[in-house]
Amino acid sequence: MSKAKMRLVLVGAGHSHLMVLQYFSQKPIAGLQLTVISLSNYIPYSGMIPGLIAGHYSWQQCHIHLANLCHRAQAKLIIGDIDYIDSAEHSVSGPGIPPIAYDWLSLNTGSKNQLDTIAGASDQGLASKPIEQFLPAWQQKITEIQHCRNSYKIAVVGGGAASVELLLAIQQRLQTLPKQVTVSLSLVTAAKNPLPQYNPANSQLIKKELQRHTIKLYVNSCASKAHHHGLDLADGSSIAANCVIWATQAGGPLWLKNTTVNCDEQGFVHVNQFLQSSSHPNIFAAGDMIHFSEQALPKSGVYAVRAGQALAKNLHRVIRNKALTPYQPQRYFLNILSLGNKRALAQWGIFSAAGSWVWYWKSWLDRRFVNKLNKKD
């Protein structure tokens, strides 16, 4: 391949692209111009964020130093936002970023909570995704709670693993605050039970965990409107809340709708078995922002990391004009859910276990992963 076809641009620094950078640091391609565009130089590792919110980890322990990883991969790092792909001219651009040409483009910017169906949701409360925006906003809420002299109510809307982890992490963090204010927590879900994607036994375990912490559970409760006083539900009832946190279904970046890249109704990039755009062969994507044509995939960091390994190999191969290899998602994956108080629930297929040992095992795995990416030459 000629050197004119040697420009690879990575938009976003999600978990999949971190795997790409690690792979290219170990297997560099001579003459390749590798560029990474990210909103931040420090990338939060999603697996450790509940522990950060709970107070078990420091900020530094949970973040990956992107500039260091780019240096190892001989990649140029640009801090900024991309909001347009010119597929005809093969370039990307964004606010303050002039067009950057590419021969091969990969997208891994993550997802955002879909709030369009809930009136006022975009203006009220905190969206749990993207994490980079949620963390400082939540820290401001902690300050607000500390200065509150009355009762304070927090409602988390969701019901999946992310909402449960977040809620139990918040409950743990609140235990460390001065007892001058009473904080009540609630989980609001449209499902019949929390964790509908887990087996029934683990769903019941989470119910008991919420009860143990006096967290109120609203099931079959679909939020229809958000306002200064809390939430209105579809059945006409209301839930009072000083703070609403949205941990609802995620969707793809809105700006992709203004491009020619093929996306599904939720805004996820439609990719084939090679993690290659169904509409543009020189565009790839992975992580939470994709619709995988072969099967539905969970929006999980575990899948993002595994997909990132496959993405890295195919990007490496396509640049060298080699045949691509299909991405084969694992049938089962180890799903470990933090329970806030240095306990965790693990599920793999039909098998599950819970306890403090699960949390320490998960913590060891997470810290090893982050430390490996943060290692210096």
Residue 187 carries which side chain, given as an amino acid letter? L
Nearest to 202 by CA among 164, 234, 230, 166: 164
Average of per-residue pLDDT across 37-55: 95
| Assigned architecture for domain 116-246 | 3-Layer(bba) Sandwich (3.50)
Q: Tell me, what's the pLDDT at 303?
A: 61
Q: Stretch 317-331: mean pLDDT, rounded?
A: 90
Q: Where are the domains of the chain?
A: 3-111+252-332, 116-246
Q: Which CATH architecture has domain 3-111+252-332?
A: 3-Layer(bba) Sandwich (3.50)
Nearest in space to 315 (alpha carbons), one of 324, 306, 304, 327: 324
**What is residue 42's predicted lDDT score, i.e. its pLDDT?**
96
Q: What pLDDT does 302 receive? A: 60
Mapped onto helix, strand or coil, the DSSP state of residue 293 is coil
Please determine whether the domains at 3-111+252-332 and 116-246 fall in the same fold group of CATH.
yes
pLDDT of residue 257: 86
Which of 200, 116, 121, 203 lies closest to 155, judged by CA?
121
Q: In whole angstroms, give the CA distance from residue 158 to residue 368.
A: 30
Quote the percentage of the chain above a pLDDT of 70.
95
Closest by alpha carbon to 158, among 190, 129, 196, 123?
190
Concatenate the DSSP letters of all residues of 331-369 into one string: SS--EEEE-SSS-EEEEETTEEEEEHHHHHHHHHHHHHH
Q: What is the pLDDT of residue 297?
A: 59
Query: Region 30-55: what's the mean pLDDT?
Result: 95
- Mean pLDDT for all residues in the chain: 90
> From CA 30, how far away is CA 55, in angstroms rounded?
44
CB 162, CB 193: distance < 8 Å: no
Query: What integer pLDDT is reported at residue 2 of this predicted model?
Result: 43
Residue with tokens 């939540």: 138
User: How many angstroms separate the Cα of 23 from the Cα of each of 242, 283, 300, 368?
Assistant: 45, 19, 21, 17
Point out the least confidently predicted range of 98-107, 168-177, 343-352: 343-352
Provide mean pLDDT across the span 254-280: 91
Q: 203 exposed, middle or buried (CB, 10 Å; 0-12, 13-18, 19+)?
A: middle
Q: How confident is the model at residue 265 (pLDDT cuts 50, 70, 90)?
A: confident
Closest C-alpha to 42, from 157, 136, 182: 136
Which range has highest mean pLDDT (7-21, 102-116, 129-143, 179-193)?
A: 7-21
Query: Quick one: which of 97, 110, 115, 95 has its CA closest to 44?
Result: 110
Q: Has residue 1 got a pLDDT over 50?
A: no
Interatomic CA distance for residues 127 and 134, integer angstroms: 6
pTM score of the predicted model: 0.91
Rounded mean pLDDT, 76-81: 96
Please name the residue ranges forming H helices in the chain: 15-26, 49-54, 66-72, 131-146, 161-174, 200-212, 301-319, 356-374
Which tokens sit at 96?
Answer: 């303050």
Cα angle value 337/339/345 (rounded, 5°): 45
User: 164: which 2 tokens?
Assistant: 């449960």
Backbone angles phi, psi at 135, to 5 degrees: -60, -50
Question: For 336-359, what is each residue's pLDDT tens digit?
Answer: 899 999 999 998 877 889 999 999
CA 156 to CA 128: how far, in whole Å? 10
Dihedral, 366, 37, 39, 312 alpha carbons, nearest 10: -20
Q: How far, in Å, are 62, 71, 93, 270, 329 from residue 19 at the CA level? A: 16, 14, 24, 21, 16
Which residues sit opposite 248 in a β-bridge? none
Q: Using omega within 30 degrees of 0 as the cis cutoff, is the peptide bond preceding 50 cis?
A: no
* pLDDT at residue 198, rounded to an integer: 85
pLDDT (average), residues 68-97: 96
